[in-house]
């Protein structure tokens, strides 16, 4: 469904628009998101899981009001993990009962707002939070639908900072040592809570389905223990997000329908053998929906060849619009998009304009040796965790997000201005 094309003259278009025209109209750097592609991916997830499962888009990957409207229209639900994400979702008209509220340290105020708004579920992350949410719900005269997030002890094969199901980290309640069973016991006793299910999220940028298989096996095992101890069959399980996307040509992601098939088969097989009714499944993909749908458009500035090493190509953004390379050693690709070139390839490193040497956008890439200041280059697959993790480091202004669709472009998050920066500085 990608609508990026390069014609025989080398003109690159996205959503039917020449990228040079986009740069002229909106400036650089800019995130260009392909609305058609976003909707197609959202829909593919939705249809892959059908009516017996729910897809909650993970707003942390990238959230704006337009995104919320697209999701709503395509029949997806939304996972939020802060008051800010909740406010964005509600202000764009996402029905509260289609919102799941996450987080390992939700504030009292956030919990209060989420329950008052009527969110469909709160995912409880600790023993303290079980009590906290129950009390707030009771004080509001409500019974809040909740899931308990457990850590199943799976080592997901991904970067240490984005793996979440091993035991020595901050999320969830360990299955080990009967802790998850104890959490369920406590939640079932509290009037303010309606325990609807168990949640597991094993990490992010994962390609191997075996981690999900082990997680599903262990979650169903817990459901069985709950049935045996309490005589209740919890109606839902959530297997989280984390499905990987292709950042470079080495990555080979699974399609939504393969993932849906694998997950639903595992869960029903496990439930059959435990003689449990199959619960309703939900998943929380973020990156897999939005990641591939956007690229960052930069203008090339200073070019510095270092003899025998490589050529440093500076762009007008950097680690403030894409921290992933510095933070996770993430790999990206890059292409010259404002013209064609027959020049020989040169080994390049695309760097930003920030005051540190780790400010790298693309570590190793080949770009044409005749690259010059003013050329436009694009870094694909920056839809997830780039704008949402953007900063103002060095008081660099955060880029806009421009949506393209059917030959038209429209700003959905505008470029930050110096007035925006100075407005917050009230000293």
Q: Indicate the helix (H) or strand (E) that contains 253.
A: none
Minimum gap (Å) between residue 288 Cβ and ligand LLP: 6
Q: Where are the alpha helices (DSSP H) in 92-126?
A: 108-117
Residues near ligand LLP (CB under 6 A) are 58, 60-61, 79, 102, 162, 201, 204-205, 240-243, 284-288, 324, 328, 384-385
Minimum gap (Å) between residue 58 Cβ and ligand LLP: 3
Q: Do 283 and 263 meet the contact criterion of CB atoms below 8 Å apart?
A: yes
CA distance 53 to 70: 19
Nearer of residues 34 and 79 to ligand LLP, judged by Cβ: 79
Q: Where are the alpha helices (DSSP H) in 169-323?
A: 179-189, 210-230, 256-273, 287-290
Angle at 259 between CA 253 and CA 260, to 5 degrees: 155
Q: Hey, what are 116's tokens?
A: 């008052």
Nearer of residues 201 and 218 to ligand LLP, judged by Cβ: 201
Nearer of residues 167 and 272 to ligand LLP, judged by Cβ: 167
Nearer of residues 321 and 375 to ligand LLP, judged by Cβ: 321
Q: How far is CA 385 from CA 79, 195, 276, 307, in A?
A: 15, 31, 38, 34
Q: Do 283 and 56 meet the contact criterion of CB atoms below 8 Å apart?
A: yes
Minimum gap (Å) between residue 76 Cβ and ligand LLP: 13
Annotated binding site, which residues? 242, 284-287, 324, 328, 356, 385
Minimum gap (Å) between residue 57 Cβ and ligand LLP: 9
Q: How far is CA 246 from CA 205, 226, 285, 293, 380, in A?
A: 9, 39, 15, 11, 10
Calculate the CA dihedral of residues 287, 288, 292, 294 and round it to 10 degrees. Answer: -40
Annotated binding site for pyridoxal 5'-phosphate, which residues? 242, 284-287, 385
CA distance 279 to 226: 13
Minimum gap (Å) between residue 389 Cβ and ligand LLP: 6
Q: Is 386 a catalytic residue?
A: no
Q: How far is CA 182 from CA 179, 185, 198, 271, in A?
A: 5, 5, 13, 22
Q: Hey, what are 92's tokens?
A: 């764009």
Annotated binding site for substrate, which residues? 287, 324, 328, 356, 385
Minimum gap (Å) between residue 258 Cβ and ligand LLP: 15
CA distance 325 to 360: 6
Nearer of residues 61 and 66 to ligand LLP, judged by Cβ: 61
Q: How far is CA 325 from CA 290, 348, 357, 365, 412, in A?
A: 18, 15, 12, 13, 25
Minimum gap (Å) between residue 16 Cβ and ligand LLP: 28
Q: Do 287 and 330 meet the contact criterion of CB atoms below 8 Å apart?
A: no
CA distance 184 to 207: 31
Nearer of residues 67 and 384 to ligand LLP, judged by Cβ: 384
Nearer of residues 72 and 159 to ligand LLP, judged by Cβ: 159
- Report, as residue numbers or ranges, the catalytic residues: 355
């Amino acid at each position: 469904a990608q609508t990026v094309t390069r014609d025989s003259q080398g003109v690159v278009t996205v959503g039917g628009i020449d990228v040079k025209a986009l740069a002229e109209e909106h400036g650089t750097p800019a995130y260009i998101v392909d609305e058609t592609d976003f909707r197609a991916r959202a829909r593919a997830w939705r249809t892959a899981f059908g009516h017996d499962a729910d897809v909650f888009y993970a707003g942390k990957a990238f959230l704006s009001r337009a995104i919320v409207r697209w999701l709503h229209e395509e029949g997806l639900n939304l996972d939020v993990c802060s008051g800010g994400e909740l406010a964005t979702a509600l202000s764009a008209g996402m029905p509260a009962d289609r919102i799941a509220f996450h987080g390992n340290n939700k504030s009292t105020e956030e919990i209060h707002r989420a329950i008052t708004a009527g969110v469909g579920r709160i995912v409880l992350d600790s023993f303290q939070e079980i009590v906290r949410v129950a009390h707030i719900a009771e004080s509001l005269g409500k019974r809040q639908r909740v899931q308990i997030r457990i850590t199943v002890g799976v080592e997901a094969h991904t970067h240490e900072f984005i793996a979440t199901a091993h035991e020595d980290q901050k999320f969830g309640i360990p299955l080990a040592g009967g802790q998850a069973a104890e959490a369920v016991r406590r939640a079932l006793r509290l009037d303010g809570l309606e325990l609807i299910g168990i949640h597991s999220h094993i990490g992010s940028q994962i390609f191997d389905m075996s981690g999900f298989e082990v997680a599903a096996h262990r979650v169903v095992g817990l459901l069985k223990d709950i049935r045996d101890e309490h005589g209740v069959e919890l109606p839902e399980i959530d297997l989280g997000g984390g499905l990987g996307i292709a950042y470079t040509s080495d990555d080979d992601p699974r399609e939504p329908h393969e993932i849906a098939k694998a997950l639903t088969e595992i869960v029903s097989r496990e439930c059959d053998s435990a003689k449990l009714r199959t619960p309703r499944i939900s998943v929380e993909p973020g990156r897999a929906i939005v990641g591939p749908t956007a690229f960052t458009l930069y203008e090339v500035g200073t070019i510095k060849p270092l003899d025998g090493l490589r050529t440093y190509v500076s762009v007008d953004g950097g680690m403030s619009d894409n921290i992933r390379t510095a933070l996770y050693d993430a790999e990206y690709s890059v292409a010259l998009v404002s013209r064609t070139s027959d020049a020989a390839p040169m080994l390049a490193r695309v760097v930003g304009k920030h005051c540190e040497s780790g400010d790298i956008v693309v570590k190793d890439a080949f770009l044409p040796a005749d690259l010059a200041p003013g050329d436009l280059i694009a870094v694909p697959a920056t839809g997830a965790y780039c704008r949402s993790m953007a900063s103002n480091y060095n008081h660099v202004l955060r880029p806009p997000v421009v949506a393209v669709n059917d030959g038209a472009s429209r700003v959905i998050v505008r470029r930050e201005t110096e007035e925006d920066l100075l407005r917050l500085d009230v000293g």
